[in-house]
Amino acid sequence: MDEILTSRFELLLWNNLFISFQELVVASKEAYHEEFISNRFYTQLFHRVDRMERLFVHYNKEIDTLISIDDAVSAFRGNEIMKTLTILTAVFTPATVIGAIWGMNFDIIPLANLTWGFVGMILMIGFTTTVIYFLLHKKGWTGDLLRVSSKEKHV
């Protein structure tokens, strides 16, 4: 990205330097129209200036395209990160809710007075977390979270 921005700055600099040259060519045509119309050197110069202007426009479009591609890749990566965080939040929500309820200081807490109450709550947390994970996995939302791609594929 740094190279793209450096190239864009250089293009802008050269474009600004070229504007004064264009002004001279157009002003000379305006002032000496009759003499320059039939002059071969002026016609060549005019065509070269036109070609350079087209190249500036072309390079500017290429740089804009490269910046747009970088923006799209960044947006895609950001969406993947948000998807991962959302799935992790959904998977661990039951454990958070049940832990919050059991952490309250009330006399009547579900299954608290039973001898197997704590084990039952742990099993309930594990069961609901597993069910949510498999529902998300069935929809295909967790597959890419578990696959780690190697760096050699992207080289």
Average pLDDT, consecutive stretches of 10 residues, N- to C-terminus, the chain (155 residues): 78 80 79 75 82 86 85 84 83 82 72 77 85 83 59 50
Q: How far apart are CA 98 and CA 94, in angstroms?
A: 6
Instruction: Identify the pLDDT of residue 155.
Output: 44
- The full set of domain ranges for the chain reads 2-154
Instruction: Identify the pLDDT of residue 147.
Output: 57
Which two tokens mark 7? 């190239």
Report DSSP letters for the chain, one per residue.
-HHHHHHHHHHHHHHHHHHHHHHHHHHHHHHSHHHHHT-HHHHHHHHHHHHHHHHHHHHHHHHHHHHHHHHHHHHHHHHHHHHHHHHHHHHHHHHHHHHHHHTS--S--TTSSSTTHHHHHHHHHHHHHHHHHHHHHHTTSSHHHH----GGGG-
Q: Which of 12, 42, 14, 48 has the alpha carbon at shortest distance from 30?
A: 42
* Beta carbons of 60 and 16 less than 8 angstroms apart: no
Report DSSP letters for 16-32, one per residue.
HHHHHHHHHHHHHHHHS
For residue 67, count other CB atoms closer than 10 A to its CB: 14
Amino acid at 101: I
pTM (2 d.p.): 0.49
